[in-house]
Amino acid sequence: MIMPITLEEIRRFLGRSLQDPYGRSFGKVVGINANLRDEITGVGIEVGNGEFIQAPGDRVHISADTLVLAPSWKVEAEEFRKEFDVVTRRLRALDELFSVGDIQKDVYEDLRKQHEDAINELKSKRTTILSNLSQRNSTLNTQLRQLQTHLAGNKMLHASGEFDDQSYKAASDAIDTGLVRAMAERKDVESIYNYLSKPDSTTTAAPTVQQPVPIVAPTVPTPARDQPMVLHVRET
C-alpha cells in the first residue's frame, strides 16, 4: 500500500516547478491542501498563462528532489488494475472452495453475485479508461508527427543556409527531447491499453460441487485386420 505524502514532505515544493513522469515541466505549485492527518489531498498548480488547476493528492509523488504529477489516465488505470486483480483472485478462490464442498451453496451464490456485480461495475469503468487511453494515444501520435515535421523542416532550412548552426542545434535538441518523452508516454499508454484489452475469465460459469467419478472398465482395442493376433498360453 502506497503511503500518502504528508505536508511536511511536500511543503518545500511550494512555489517550485513540478514535472510529469516523462520529464516535461507541468507548471508551478501555488497551493497545497492537507487533511487533519497531515496527508496531502490536493495541489494547486499554475500551468501557464495565468491558468490554474487543482490536482488530487494521489497524483503527486516525490522522486529525488522533484515533485512529479502522474497523468490522470495512469492513476485511473493503476487503480483499476489493482481492484480488478483483487476481485478476480477472490472469485477464483471462492469457486475453488465451492468446488470441493467447503462452502454451502446458498452462501456461495450470495458471495459470487456480490463479486460478479463488482466485476461488471469494473468492466464499465474499464470501457471508459480504454476510451481515454485511445484519445491520449491519438494526441501523442499527433504531437510526434508535428515534432517530426518541424525537425525535417529545420533540417531543410539549415541545409539551405536559412538557419544558423546555433539556432538549428538549439531547436533540434528541444525537438529530440520532446520526441523521446512523447514516445516514452505513448509506450506506456499502449502497454496499459493492451493489458486492459485482454479478455478475462471472470464470465465463466460457476462450478458445481465435485461428484464421485464412476469407474469405467478400460476398453481393449480391437487389433487391425491386417495384423495377426498372437496368444500366449501359459502351461500350469
Topology of the domain comprising 7-70: SH3 type barrels. (2.30.30)
Residue 136's Cβ-count burial label (10 Å; 0-12, 13-18, 19+) is buried
Residue 191's Cβ-count burial label (10 Å; 0-12, 13-18, 19+) is exposed
Tell me the per-residue pLDDT of 166-196, one tens digit each, with 9 for 90 and over.
999 999 999 999 999 999 999 999 999 998 9
Tell me the per-residue pLDDT of 98-131, one tens digit each, with 9 for 90 and over.
999 898 999 999 999 999 999 999 988 999 999 9
Q: What residues form DSSP beta bridges with 43? A: 32, 55
Parallel/antiparallel/unpaired status of strands 51-56 and 60-63 = unpaired
pLDDT at site 39: 94
- How would DSSP label each residue in 58-74? GGEEEETTEEEE--HHH
Tell me the per-residue pLDDT of 19-57, one tens digit each, with 9 for 90 and over.
999 999 999 999 999 999 999 999 999 998 789 999 999
Tell me the per-residue pLDDT of 53-104, one tens digit each, with 9 for 90 and over.
999 999 999 998 999 999 999 999 999 999 999 999 999 999 999 999 898 9
SS3 26: strand
Instruction: Supply 25's cell numbers.
Output: 515541466
Query: Model pTM greater than 0.85?
Result: no
Instruction: Give the start-to-end residue ranges of the domains of the chain.
Output: 7-70, 73-197
For the four alpha carbons of 203, 77, 5 and 64, in that order, the dihedral sign comes to positive
Q: What residues form DSSP beta bridges with 125? A: none
